[in-house]
Amino acid sequence: GLSPHSHNELHATCGRTVPAWGATTLLPSTRLLLKRREVVEVERALQSQREEFRQRMERLAQRRQQLGQRKEQLQDVVLKFNAFLKASAARQERALRRADEERAWVARQGAEAAHLHQELAGLLQCRERLGQRLRSLRCFGDYLQGVLARMGQFQDVPAMLAHFEALAGVRAALAQQAEAQQEQLTQGWARLRRYQEEATSELLRTNNELVQLRARLEAARREVLQ
């Protein structure tokens, strides 16, 4: 079957090749020749249409191939873009994590710096107090140096202080021993007072008994005399 366009082309071709004579005036051979010529023209038109259709199909196939290649390219681009997005998200996450770590590190450093500043201020105050105490004790140091120079039997002040500390320890021990002996003496005096008080009480009881016995003896004598 031919398309309307093909029929139009065929009629146009036939109109160009066949004169507008009446069919009754033509001979059979002429009509056959015209029919053959018409068939040739139709075949030629069909061949032209087939060639055009083939070229169109080739162009469509090329276009389809180009679209397939373009689709593959777009898929590659999409895959690359997705990979780029994933890599960007991973980089952004790493950057955020590094930023959080850096903020935490800065906060720790700030807290440590504040603690160190506070400790430094305390150390400066302690150094000032020690400096004041050293200045207040300098006269004693000079005095000890003078004592060391006058005595002449010690190598340095620490040796002299160690000797006097030993003497102070011996003195403390002797004082403790004397205190213990004094305590024992005090306890002895206390026991002696208790013994004296007990002896006095016993003597008073004995004297009372003696007075009672004398009174009884005197009463017995009077009774004997009576």
Tens of pLDDT, residues 133-186: 888 888 888 888 888 788 778 788 888 888 889 989 999 999 999 999 999 999
- The answer to whether 38 and 18 have CB atoms below 8 angstroms apart is yes
Query: Which range is least confidently modeled, 21-30, 100-109, 111-120?
Result: 21-30
What pLDDT, in 10s, does the model give residues 177-221? 999 999 999 999 999 999 999 999 999 999 999 999 999 999 999
C-alpha gyration radius of the chain: 71
Question: Residue ranges of the domains in the chain?
Answer: 157-225
Looking at residue 101, what is its pLDDT? 92
Paired tokens of 88: 């960007």
Q: How many helices (H) and strands (E) does the chain have?
A: 3, 0
Instruction: Give mean pLDDT, residues 60-73.
Output: 92
Total Cβ atoms within 10 A of residue 22: 6
pTM, two decimals, is 0.32
Confidence of residue 24 (pLDDT cuts 50, 70, 90): low
Q: What tokens were used for 5?
A: 């366009």
> Residue 3: is its pLDDT beyond 80?
no
Average pLDDT in the 9-33 region? Answer: 58
Ramachandran region, residue 118 (left: φ > 0; alpha: ψ -120 to 50; beta: rest): alpha
110 phi/psi in degrees, rounded to 5: -65, -45
